[in-house]
Structure 1
């Protein structure tokens, strides 16, 4: 289905671009450590910037992680089920749990971001960085997660989900 390819493609591109942020915040941390311990000149901004970059990195990769089935799963009940049963149980899980959560996350993060934007919210540290871009990223991440959920749900309905192969039974001896 074209909609599945488009949604998967969007989250793939976003995931690959956002992964570069990890390199940026690692470089800032290395720079800060070098300045602090080797030159005795600590930076005032590095901690706040890396904290915000990590928050951006972490939140924005939710849709990408769902696309690659990298979210934590509790397969205690479904591990012994056949492919078809697992498919329908997962589809029900999307309807009952995922979509309501993702919708609430998107709705509340939008309100959260708009409040921050209207107040021109900044951090309270030594360097006052704007907070509203990170809160806008929360809304974008919620939308990416929600649309990726639509893609995964459609894959389940169309029997195109690759991750449903029967699992090895758990050895609980």
Structure 2
């Protein structure tokens, strides 16, 4: 369990830094794109497309980081005042839905990314940017989220059975 804890902590730390960098990238290039378009009347050929890709990557990295640090919003109506054992039971009951969602995201995301790679998909802009690296980030981040979900599941089982 300690190895899994260390691995997910290291992965989420890297994801946090990637997300931080992508936020800075989106801010800097988003502002410069608006400035170039509306002040200089010279819109960029590539910034808008790269910002879309950066936002997809930011969602992937942010999801990994947020789940590791338990920063996702939960339905506090039933969850907030529950004991740690009841919270663990609720988490275990929702585990099949998480696995179903992540399984579909991994399988279908990999299929879409593989097809994109096979077709050498690129953006239809003046400067073609490959799309398949971004598409591969989605099933990869889903696998990382699955690791964290499994770690939380093991922790919840320990709490339920009094071995925490």
Q: TM-score range by the shorter chain?
A: 0.7 to 0.9
Counterpart-to-counterpart distance in 2, 1:82 and 1:30: 46
Q: Is the 8 A contact 1:60 1:137 kept in 2?
A: no
What does 1:1-173 align with in structure 2 at a 5 Å threshold? 1-94=2-95, 96-159=96-159
Q: Residues 93, 10 of structure 1: CA spacing in aligned structure 2 closer, same or farther, 3 A cutoff?
A: same
Counterpart-to-counterpart distance in 2, 1:120 and 1:114: 10
RMSD between superposed Cα atoms in Å? 1.7
1:140 Cα deviation after fit: 1.2
Counterpart-to-counterpart distance in 1, 2:157 and 2:17: 27
Q: Is the 8 A contact 1:117 1:132 kept in 2?
A: yes
1:100 Cα deviation after fit: 2.1
Larger mean Cα displacement after TM superposition, 73-82 or 21-30: 73-82
Counterpart-to-counterpart distance in 2, 1:3 and 1:35: 47
Given the two structures, how large is their TM-score scaled by the length of structure 1?
A: 0.82
Counterpart-to-counterpart distance in 1, 2:81 and 2:19: 36
Compare the two structures and name the one with the higher helix fraction: 2
Query: For residues 101-122 of structure 1, what are the alpha-carbon distances to aligned partners after superposition, in whole Å with 9 as ceiling and x for unaligned?
Result: 2122111111111011000011
1:82 Cα deviation after fit: 2.3
Unaligned ranges ≥5, structure 1: 160-173
Query: For residues 54-113 of structure 1, what are the alpha-carbon distances to aligned partners after superposition, in whole Å with 9 as ceiling and x for unaligned?
Result: 11111232111111112221132333432212211212212x211222122111111111
Unaligned ranges ≥5, structure 2: 160-164
